[in-house]
Amino acid sequence: MTLEQIYTEPHRRFNPLTQEWILVSPQRTQRPWGRQREAVASAVPPYDPDCYLCPGNQRAGGVRNPDYSSTFVFTNDFAALKPDVRPAKYDESGRGLLLSESEAGTCKVVCFSPRHDLTLARMTVPEIVRVVDVWAEQHAEIGSLPDINYVQIFENRGEIMGCSNPHPHGQIWANQTIPNEPRKEQESQRAYAKKYGSCLLCDYLQLETKAATRMVVENAHFAALVPFWAVWPFEVLLMSKQHVSDLVSLDSHGTRGAGGHLQTTHHPL
């Protein structure tokens, strides 16, 4: 069977970052499905007096926002993680079947702009740069805390993704322990480096650049591509072309730093 035949029939693809297999069924693209159609949103005002993220408005937790004019960061009023958690571990079964332990951390909200009617994609480049600078500042500040071992910066957009407010904003979740997915990816990259003496993501990026079949867009510093092991219909892997360990290691050109390989994944539905 040829490679082309394999890719047109049901098959599995291996994700070397998570050490898991992904089922791919190309023939399902032929099924009779009109796809979901989203209603076109009505005009959104620059300021909404009922929005709990707009400048000067009172948030759902009772705190009033300052009249901010740029990016604004605050601790989530309904945080999924809290710093003042008492250390505890409990095994209800005594055999590790009902095991639980405390998890400390913090959650923050990052308002990208005071404008209620914008999205990150519709902001100016200087405005977006300010957001990225705030991400780096928060990553450095939160990541330096003694009980924090992982900082995740993300954005959920749209009601279908569980976003409760259309105001342009994202979140930062910082954990005491490293979550499952990044932990598996780190372990896989260490194992690959030990076995082959090179960087897993560097080698993968070289293959994708040469193939040029899944590359979405790239410049001198970054590449956005559909990963070979994609799970979602529209999944994009954004990779720095330089070795950098984290967001803080990047300069304004995305080139400073040494160590790991910065990557981020986007899974829109």
Residues annotated as part of the active site: 169
Task: Please name the amino acid found at residue 240.
Answer: S
The rounded distance, in Å, linking the Cα atoms of 234 and 252 is 28
Structure tokens at 232: 């979602």
Burial class (CB in 10 A: 0-12, 13-18, 19+), 16: middle
Structure tokens at 206: 């070289």
The rounded distance, in Å, linking the Cα atoms of 36 and 140 is 40
Task: Please name the amino acid found at residue 196.
Answer: Y
Percent of the chain that is helix, strand, coil (3-state, to 5): 25, 25, 50
